[in-house]
Structure 1
Amino acid sequence: MAKHRSWLLVSLFLTEVVFLEAAKILTVASLGGSHYLVMNRVSQILQDNGYNVTKLQGKVIFIPGVKEEKVSYQVINWHLPEDQQEEFRNRLNILLEELVRQRNTHHVIVKIYKLLGGLCSHFLGREDIMDFLRNENFDLLLFDYLDLCSYLIAEKLEKKFVTVLPMQFSYMNFGLTSPLSYVPVCGSRLTDQMDFWGRVKNFLMFFDFSLKQREIFSQFDATIQEHFAEDSRPVLSDLPLKAELSFINSDFAFDFARPLFPNTVYVGGLMDKPARPIPQDLEDFISKFGDSGFVLVALGSVVTLHQTKELIKEMNNAFARLPQGVLWTVKDGHWPKDVRLAPNVKIMDWVPQNDLLAHPSIRLFVTHGGMNSIMEAIQHGVPMVGIPFCADQPENMVRIEAKKIGVSVQLETIKAETFALTLKEVIEDKRYKTAAMTARAIRCSHPLTPSQRLVGWIDHILQSGGGAHLKPHGFQQPWHVQHLLDVLLFLLGLTLATLWLLKKVLGLLLSILGVARKEKKA
């Protein structure tokens, strides 16, 4: 019996291995910057764990400074026609610069999604690529939660899909119940510890955010009308709820705790890689500052392109007041000719950020507050000073401040003297380093790595035929049923009807009593 059972277990194991090797997954990477990097990493993790991965890659949205890496999976590139591609990139660069300059103005984000809606329409019209994807018969699609076109691709292919949100949770709600008393709404810049006025603000921001989301989704209305038959047009805002799983590239070492559904999985730290020795020229530069150590300054691929002369000048003057060395990502071509580089500063087009954050001499990380950068800093227990520009960055820095890992500095207020004082405070006050190391301990003490969680859950839904058992029935209910409005209306009607009936009965009793008294007097 024992021998039979062991053979059965071996048989099941081999069946599972064959199944996993045979599973075909299509990943989609059409957004640039950190979104592109996360999807690259996810694709490679799945390929390394036995899946047959194909990545559909839109080579239209390209952000300079993002390094291409060698991959072992199949890549399908698609482009706009050359004349359209140049026009698209010019328009996108103008909008990205406007986004950085105006600090997350909603109307700029709407314009970007309108541009993406037009790009999506072009892609869905590429019958050659769509036919190829249909013929490949993928078992699963996996794409960025914010890439709205990918939902329409999944609808066209009629395939199950999984999403990855490359930022912290508040940016989308995933249909989750969000108690507004302690779950801050995106854009509110609140923590989970709100006073009365904070809860008032959060309540009002919920409606504001809902309207803004609806406006963003509406930018794809024309694309849906063009590429879907009238009787089968999807409601784009409903499609995210169809995801079998939703992975969040965040961690509770950084984010606020909140209610989750079983199909919502935190995998913060997907970009983690073993630290390697840094180049000798950087080691030589760092060693010049001895025990003082060094400060790493990296403001992300988009912001690096749009740093103003005034910002560079003030930051350079602030760094000159520090005893530490400073490694700073600024392209030579963007450095103002009339600004003299501080003697303790070294500027570079690109730095090995993860390797530098792991260096024992690092004292501080000056960041724009992007999620990948924050996760890397927490992984190595490095305090931060954040200069948030746009998108999720301000919300990220609210969480960093709430966890006491660092401080946030408003772009408009940066002056050399006060900025230098802020940098010195975070470097010298050991409470920030202690909080950073505490966050590191939380982040590193999970029983499974982010990659193991990702692969394990993908295994689960493929072997179980999908994630329907992980999603509440509420996803299929109309909004008024989900929020018990029908029940509230029924109870209100019942209460009013009862009060009306009591009034009538009381009136009848009073009239009877009145008649009886008159007869008695008579």
Structure 2
Amino acid sequence: MMLLRCLCAPGATLRGFIGLFVLATLWSIAGTADILIMPSSLYPVHRYTMRVLAEELVKRGHDSKLSLPSDVHETFWRISSSNPEIRDLYLHRNHSVHSRIWTTDFSDDAERTTAWLASIEMCDQKFTAVIIDDLYNPCGLLLAGLQKTPFIYWSMSALRTESAWAHQSPSPPSYLPVPGSWLTDDLSFLQRYYNFASYFRALFIHQHLILRRIDKLFKKYYGDLLPEAFYIERNASVNFVNTPQIFDFARPYMPRVTFVGGIQCRNATPLTGDLRTFVDESDEENGFVLFTVGFTGQWKFAPKDIIESFVQAFAELPEKRFIWQYNGPNIPNLPSNVYIAEWLPQQNLLESVWHGVPVIGIPLTTAGYDNLLRLTARDVGIFLRKQNLNKESIKDAIREIYNPKYKKEMLTFQDMLVDVPYTELNHSAFWVEFIERHNEVCTNYYYSLLI
């Protein structure tokens, strides 16, 4: 079995609302502990990973103030906006970006986002600890700074240059590729030069453009009550990184960094209904191919020639069965070896490694490209570029991924990933409870805040 996945940067469908925050208030074993979990306002889909941690804390004896079947309460505030760009992007989902994501000149994740959205209601409530998504989350920094609350800074992607800068982990550009540079750790002289320029570009944008604007806004409304956002970032008690330690290229990092990638990984559960019948009809040699574009890929906006290329490629491989997460227009004469559904119990890229499944990736954005690079560098995946997307290239990639070497290398990678004396979920929950009990991690405190 193999997994065919179109890699997309995280995003979300906001049905009837624009801004959201995830509220998980829990009781600790030793006393009352209010834990606030704040996903990025740019990528609210991150809440699905964060919610796994919240549910684990509930299982450890923490009781939710507001109960739901999941024991985690999600609080939503409807944000009205007169900006048609925001409404088209999130509410109506008819923004041009949904069409342009399929073009070869599109790669910028930020084009699918809007400005950050604050929630003043949360500033009136005190929390024992805050877990903040570090992907441009000024609301989280504002709350932690105003309340002087211990917080965990969570990198929901790999360890970005800006994230490493925030917690003082070295990122030597001489051998460590900058996210978004489309490079591996095997660098030529010119590539090192380009990587060096990319490193300073990333830091300049973060330090002198983004943080300066946040500081200006904080200063306008709160005066001298807050230090600079740079110092708030560096005062995180612990920094979570949402990848396993071995997923990225070899790099140095500070003791406060904790790798928690894979907290959502679970053993597969039995399928039911028509999907199970379709899968059971596949033979052992060919298995089946799962084809998904994740949360943000909208097939109804994809060019017809791309859809037709996949349909024709699948039809010319009748010995294989394809399960396609598809929400586009009706496909006439759909091949009998293709099963389509708008939603599937799909796995993300990391879970593909956890289950030992080789990957064909079509990176639609820079984030997808970076993730896939880390797999192709280990010979456990194949690139299928948008620039070369046609019936023949799709067929060639599918035939190639069945080469036993990809499965062998992926099983080796899988074994290294799971061969640890703890689960990432237990590890992350331990650090949250540690912060709640001790209020901080003394070795990680950034003492410039005391000045």
TM over 0.5: yes
Q: Who is 2:78 aligned against?
A: 79
Q: Who is 2:183 aligned against?
A: 190
Q: Who is 2:56 aligned against?
A: 45
Q: Who is 1:458 aligned against?
A: 432
Instruction: Point out the structure with the larger helix share.
Output: 1
Q: Who is 2:9 aligned against?
A: none
Distance in structure 2 (CA, Å) of the matches to 1:95 and 1:76: 30
Distance 1:87 1:71, change over 3 A: farther
Distance 1:476 1:24, change over 3 A: closer
> Which amino acid is the alignment partner of residue 172 of structure 1?
E
Quote the offset at 1:223 in angstroms. Answer: 3.9
Distance 1:98 1:348, change over 3 A: closer
Distance in structure 2 (CA, Å) of the matches to 1:116 and 1:196: 38
Contact 1:154 1:161 (C-alpha < 8 Å) held by counterparts: yes
- Alignment partner of 1:159 is 2:158: no
Quote the offset at 1:95 in angstroms. Answer: 6.9
Residue number among 27, 31, 37 corresponding to 1:27 in the alignment: 37
Q: Who is 1:88 aligned against?
A: 86
- 1:402-481 equivalence runs, <5 A: 402-427=377-402, 429-470=403-444
Q: Who is 2:221 aligned against?
A: 227
Cα root mean square deviation, aligned: 3.0
- 1:87-236 equivalence runs, <5 A: 88-92=86-90, 93=93, 94=95, 96-97=97-98, 100-101=101-102, 105-106=107-108, 109=110, 115-117=114-116, 119-120=117-118, 123=119, 126=120, 128-131=121-124, 133=125, 137-146=126-135, 147-170=137-160, 172-175=162-165, 176-213=169-206, 214-217=208-211, 220=214, 223-229=217-223, 231-236=224-229
- 1:500-511 equivalence runs, <5 A: none
Distance 1:253 1:99, change over 3 A: farther
Distance in structure 1 (CA, Å) of the matches to 2:343 and 2:89: 25
> Which amino acid is the alignment partner of residue 416 of structure 1?
K
How many percent identity over aligned positions?
Answer: 24
**CA deviations over 1:237-262 (Å, ceiling 9, x no partner):** 44322211111110134221211111
Distance in structure 1 (CA, Å) of the matches to 2:393 and 2:253: 41
Quote the offset at 1:307 in angstroms. Answer: 3.1
Unaligned runs of 5+ in 1: 1-16, 56-68, 355-372, 479-522
**CA deviations over 1:459-517 (Å, ceiling 9, x no partner):** 333333302313577x8799xxxxxxxxxxxxxxxxxxxxxxxxxxxxxxxxxxxxxxx
Q: Classify the secondary structure of the residue corresponding to 1:23.
A: coil
Quote the offset at 1:211 in angstroms. Answer: 2.9
Distance 1:277 1:207, change over 3 A: same
**CA deviations over 1:92-111 (Å, ceiling 9, x no partner):** 442752772466555x72x6
Contact 2:99 2:302 (C-alpha < 8 Å) held by counterparts: no
**CA deviations over 1:125-171 (Å, ceiling 9, x no partner):** x3x4432x1xxx31101121113321122223331211222221236
Distance in structure 1 (CA, Å) of the matches to 2:65 and 2:161: 28
Distance in structure 1 (CA, Å) of the matches to 2:353 and 2:401: 15
Residue number among 247, 266, 270 corresponding to 1:277 in the alignment: 270
Q: Classify the secondary structure of the residue corresponding to 2:173.
A: coil
- 1:386-397 equivalence runs, <5 A: 386-397=361-372
Quote the offset at 1:31 in angstroms. Answer: 4.9
Q: Classify the secondary structure of the residue corresponding to 1:399.
A: helix
- Alignment partner of 1:329 is 2:340: no
Distance 1:18 1:300, change over 3 A: closer
Distance in structure 1 (CA, Å) of the matches to 2:205 and 2:63: 38
Distance 1:320 1:221, change over 3 A: farther
Contact 2:130 2:152 (C-alpha < 8 Å) held by counterparts: yes
Distance in structure 1 (CA, Å) of the matches to 2:133 and 2:289: 32
Q: Who is 1:352 aligned against?
A: 345
- Alignment partner of 1:300 is 2:289: no
Quote the offset at 1:344 in angstroms. Answer: 1.2
User: How many residues are paired up?
Assistant: 411
**CA deviations over 1:433-476 (Å, ceiling 9, x no partner):** 01110111011111110111101222333333302313577x87
Distance in structure 1 (CA, Å) of the matches to 2:96 and 2:65: 31
> Which amino acid is the alignment partner of residue 200 of structure 2?
F
Distance in structure 2 (CA, Å) of the matches to 1:173 and 1:166: 10
> Which amino acid is the alignment partner of residue 313 of structure 1?
E
Q: Classify the secondary structure of the residue corresponding to 1:392.
A: helix
Quote the offset at 1:89 in angstroms. Answer: 3.1
Q: Who is 1:503 aligned against?
A: none
Distance 1:238 1:316, change over 3 A: farther
Distance in structure 2 (CA, Å) of the matches to 1:36 and 1:86: 25
Distance in structure 2 (CA, Å) of the matches to 1:166 and 1:273: 19
Residue number among 351, 369, 381 corresponding to 1:376 in the alignment: 351
TM-score between the two structures when normalised by the length of structure 2: 0.82
Distance 1:112 1:282, change over 3 A: closer
Contact 1:24 1:51 (C-alpha < 8 Å) held by counterparts: no
Q: Who is 2:232 aligned against?
A: 239
**CA deviations over 1:254-277 (Å, ceiling 9, x no partner):** 221211111110011111123210
Distance in structure 1 (CA, Å) of the matches to 2:155 and 2:191: 26
Structure label with greater radius of gyration: 1
Distance in structure 1 (CA, Å) of the matches to 2:393 and 2:142: 49
Distance 1:420 1:171, change over 3 A: farther
> Which amino acid is the alignment partner of residue 150 of structure 1?
G
Distance in structure 1 (CA, Å) of the matches to 2:102 and 2:211: 24
Quote the offset at 1:112 in angstroms. Answer: 6.0
Quote the offset at 1:298 in angstroms. Answer: 1.0
> Which amino acid is the alignment partner of residue 272 of structure 1?
C
**CA deviations over 1:67-118 (Å, ceiling 9, x no partner):** xx9420333322214x659873324442752772466555x72x666x323x
Distance 1:34 1:438, change over 3 A: farther
Q: Classify the secondary structure of the residue corresponding to 2:239.
A: strand
Distance in structure 1 (CA, Å) of the matches to 2:393 and 2:450: 53
Unaligned runs of 5+ in 2: 1-27
Q: Classify the secondary structure of the residue corresponding to 1:375.
A: helix
